Copies of this chain bind each other. A is one copy, B any other.
Amino acid sequence: MSIKPLPRRRLRYRTKKYRSPDGLPTDICIFTITSKARYTKTKSLPTKQLSVLLIKRISTTFGEQWALPGGFSKESETLDECAYRELKEETNIDRNVHIEQLGTYYKPGRDPRGWIPSVAYVSLVHEDLLAHAKADDDASEARLFSVEEAFELQLAFDHREILTDALARIREKMLQTNIAKAFLPDEFTLSELLQVIETVVPAFKVSDRGNFERRLLSTTRRQGILEPVLAADGTPLYSTEYSNSPAKLYRFTDYMPVAMIY
């Protein structure tokens, strides 16, 4: 969506004792992990990349610019509802995906149109759900950029700062919570999980995949984060999607240990 011009009342109130913000938009960092098949000699895991959805914005002052999708919230909706609405407008996604408030941004002059803070949100969506992003809606263009690409752009407003914070937030939570599930199918292999973690947090390095597996499945503190997917007869289910050697399928449970430094 394009941001609509504001009514003219701003000037009229400039000299008044009480002024109120000229609007409270939400902007949303929609992250996804894009996959690309690798065309190797045998079945293999695709390469993955953390990407963010940006829209092209035509600004009278700045010309063409990429920006986070967003729009003004209404009195009749909560901020979360507004973020969901934006998400749906941009991506057509209409189900429960991971969405969380990142923070509210304002400093004098952040928006040349007036006193306009922004409530930033972060959403993590599975690649498949973005299949028909933005086929409809208005003329503005939307595109996925890898986060590296996104940081090379000149983003509108303070969206670079928001994106930086958003990235820091999901990196932190990727290691401390099970938000990895947002980027995975319901049932996944351990290699897929590991790949998602490594894609979001490049600093997370596991020297030996086998040790990762053992740690995750047989350490008492972590026991129960994952459970194997079982067939009706109680035998575990396997996938051969990414390898000839069948890989056991897992899913996240509701249990999550508390990470702590002490």
Interface residues, chain A, CB within 8 Å of chain B? Answer: 4, 6-7, 9, 13, 16-24, 72-79, 101, 103-108, 115, 117, 119, 172, 175-178, 197, 204, 212, 215-216, 222, 225, 256-262
Contact = CB atoms under 8 A, between A and B. Distances in A.
- Which of A4, A117, A175 has the most chain B CB atoms closer than 10 A to its own CB? A117
B117 A197 contact: no
A262 B214 CA distance: 11
B176 A117 contact: no
List the 8 shortest-distance A-B pairs measured between CB atoms, nearest first.
Answer: A259-B259, A175-B260, A75-B115, A7-B18, A104-B104, A78-B107, A259-B261, A20-B23
Given A6-B18, A18-B7, A20-B23, A259 B176 contact: yes
A163 to B, nearest CB: 17
Given A20-B24, A261-B225, A79 B104 contact: yes
A106 B215 CA distance: 42
A13 B9 CA distance: 10
A262 B175 CA distance: 7
Contacts of A101: 103-104
Given A75-B115, A103-B103, A115-B75, A175 B261 contact: yes
13 contacts: A4-B18, A7-B17, A9-B13, A20-B24, A75-B108, A79-B104, A101-B103, A103-B103, A175-B260, A175-B261, A204-B262, A222-B262, A257-B261
Contacts of A177: 261
Contacts of A175: 258-262
B21 A21 contact: yes
A200 to B, nearest CB: 12
A18 B113 CA distance: 14
A193 to B, nearest CB: 9
Contacts of A75: 19, 21, 108, 115
Contacts of A178: 261
Given A175-B261, A177-B261, 17 more contacts: A4-B18, A6-B18, A19-B75, A20-B21, A20-B22, A20-B23, A20-B24, A21-B23, A21-B75, A24-B106, A79-B105, A104-B119, A175-B258, A175-B260, A212-B262, A222-B262, A259-B260
B24 A176 contact: no
A176 B16 contact: no
B76 A108 contact: yes
A16 B215 CA distance: 60
